[in-house]
């Protein structure tokens, strides 16, 4: 990941803007990436310091030094370096320095320290040549590491990752991020929320019309101070956001040495989407897809499709259904979330959500291996637990859906 100082931005009226690259700049970027890659390929087997010296020459001549430095970092991160494995530099240093110390204190004050004598003594003790001793003295230092492999990616793909890396570098200094997400598929949405939870970020969600959600994302301590502590997590969250269909974010950023407040805006239009499938249905897991096919083939007045809704109970959590079943005779839709057999705790959280009122009718499909009883949700008429053994059955699920659809109210 790039560091914040490598972000190429301009400031205007309290906003930070990522510099937009036109076709000419993109071509230059690819050309520059190719130069860095070519130097790396030519230095396989050489020391890191030697490669860096070659890269310095490229950087000095670059028209946009910050852009060059960022690309260089991206290429550097993709290189494989290793210390020379055949020598033990710590042992060599211990031998050389101990000998040098002894000879220094024993010699006549008027005669200079004889380096060659020290190297020769050490070489004989270590069973090496004098040159080899001197060469290996600091072979474990970072600058002495050898380039084992140049990056496998080509200049185009590195240049393509550049804008995402730039946005991530800016987000490192963010104290709060507001995201607006529209028409996302449930699988991708679930992945996004899973990422939020994984990074222990807190968020509040509100619905946007016609379809979409607005999330304010920050951390527990953000209530008391604007800290960029959560910046790395925002940066790591960005790829999950980019995987969604359409999105925008507004980040409150503390920029520069004086941490001046700026606003940074970014949307799905600003970032080239690559390497990410955005089709809706393909993000259904195999068992959900099989269930959907079975429901569609069943003789029923419920039409099944992948769900796009997000059900939220403020302060308690969010539930992202997999499917939605619409009654062709009319009436509100019934959502289905498949919880499978992963987490018993997740089931109890859903029960709590349902009891507090999700504002929609829902059936949770839970594997019997989680040892939960369908009666746990008997207290609410707008939700139900469908406990299945082995494989989900469309017919059994429809029975629950029918009952929930006919319920009178929503808790």
Continuous H helices in 277-385: 286-297, 344-356
- Tell me the HSE value of 407 on the side-chain side, using a 13 A CA sphere: 22
Report CA torsion sign: 386, 197, 186, 407.
Answer: positive
In the bound complex, what is the minimum distance in angstroms from residue 41's beta carbon to other proteins? 26
Other Cβ atoms closer than 10 A to 245: 18
In the bound complex, what is the minimum distance in angstroms from residue 342's beta carbon to other proteins? 24
Residues lying near other proteins in the complex (CB under 8 A)? 60, 65-66, 90, 93-94, 96-101, 104-105, 109, 112-113, 115, 118, 137-138, 141-142, 200, 202-204, 219-221, 223-225, 227, 229, 257, 259, 314-316
Which C-beta is closer to other proteins: that of 26 or that of 83?
83
User: Which two three-digit tokens encode residue 94?
Assistant: 């211990």
In the bound complex, what is the minimum distance in angstroms from residue 83's beta carbon to other proteins? 11
Dist. CA 337–CA 208, nearest whole Å: 22
User: Which two three-digit tokens encode residue 88?
Assistant: 């033990």
In the bound complex, what is the minimum distance in angstroms from residue 192's beta carbon to other proteins? 17
Dist. CA 23–CA 29, nearest whole Å: 10
Which C-beta is closer to other proteins: that of 42 or that of 141?
141
Other Cβ atoms closer than 10 A to 77: 11
In the bound complex, what is the minimum distance in angstroms from residue 293's beta carbon to other proteins? 38
- Asked if 32 and 71 touch (Cβ cutoff 8 Å), the reply is yes
In the bound complex, what is the minimum distance in angstroms from residue 202's beta carbon to other proteins? 5
Which C-beta is closer to other proteins: that of 97 or that of 348?
97
Which C-beta is closer to other proteins: that of 118 or that of 367?
118
Which C-beta is closer to other proteins: that of 20 or that of 90?
90
Which C-beta is closer to other proteins: that of 204 or that of 281?
204
How do 202-207 and 260-267 pair as beta strands?
unpaired
């Amino acid at each position: 990941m790039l560091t914040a100082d490598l972000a190429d931005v301009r400031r205007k009226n309290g906003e930070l803007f990522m510099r937009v690259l036109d076709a000419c700049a993109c071509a230059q970027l690819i050309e520059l990436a190719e130069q860095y890659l070519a130097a790396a390929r030519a230095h396989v087997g050489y020391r890191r310091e030697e490669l860096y010296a070659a890269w310095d020459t490229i950087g000095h001549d670059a028209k946009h030094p910050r852009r060059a430095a960022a690309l260089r970092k991206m290429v550097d991160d993709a290189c494989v370096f290793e210390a020379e494995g055949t020598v033990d530099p710590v042992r060599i240093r211990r031998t050389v320095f101990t000998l040098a110390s002894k000879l220094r204190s024993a010699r006549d004050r008027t005669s200079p320290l004889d380096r060659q004598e020290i190297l020769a003594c050490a070489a004989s003790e270590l069973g090496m040549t004098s040159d080899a001793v001197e060469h290996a003295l600091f072979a474990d230092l970072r600058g002495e590491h050898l380039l084992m492999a140049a990056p496998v990616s080509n200049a185009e793909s590195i240049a393509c990752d550049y804008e995402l890396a730039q946005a991530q570098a800016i987000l490192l200094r963010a104290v709060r991020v507001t995201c607006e997400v529209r028409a996302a598929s449930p699988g991708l949405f679930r992945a996004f929320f899973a990422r939020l939870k994984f990074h222990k970020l807190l968020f509040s969600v509100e619905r946007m019309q016609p379809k979409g959600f607005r999330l304010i994302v920050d951390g527990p301590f953000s209530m008391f101070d604007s800290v960029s502590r959560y910046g790395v997590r925002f940066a790591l969250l960005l790829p999950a956001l980019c995987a969604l269909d359409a999105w925008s974010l507004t980040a409150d950023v503390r920029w520069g040495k004086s941490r001046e407040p700026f606003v940074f805006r970014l949307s799905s239009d600003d970032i080239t989407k690559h390497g990410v499938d955005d089709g809706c249905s393909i993000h259904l897991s195999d068992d959900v897809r099989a269930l959907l096919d079975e429901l569609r083939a069943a003789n029923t007045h419920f039409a099944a499709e992948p769900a796009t809704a997000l059900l939220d109970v403020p302060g308690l959590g969010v539930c992202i259904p997999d499917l939605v079943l619409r009654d062709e005779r009319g009436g509100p839709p019934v959502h289905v979330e498949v919880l499978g057999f992963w987490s018993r705790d997740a089931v109890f959280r859903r029960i709590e959500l349902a009891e507090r009122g999700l504002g929609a009718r829902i059936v949770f499909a839970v594997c019997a291996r989680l040892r939960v009883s369908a009666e746990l949700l008997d207290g609410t008429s707008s939700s139900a637990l469908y406990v299945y053994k082995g494989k989900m059955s469309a017919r059994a699920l429809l029975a629950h859906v029918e009952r929930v659809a006919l319920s009178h109210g929503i808790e």
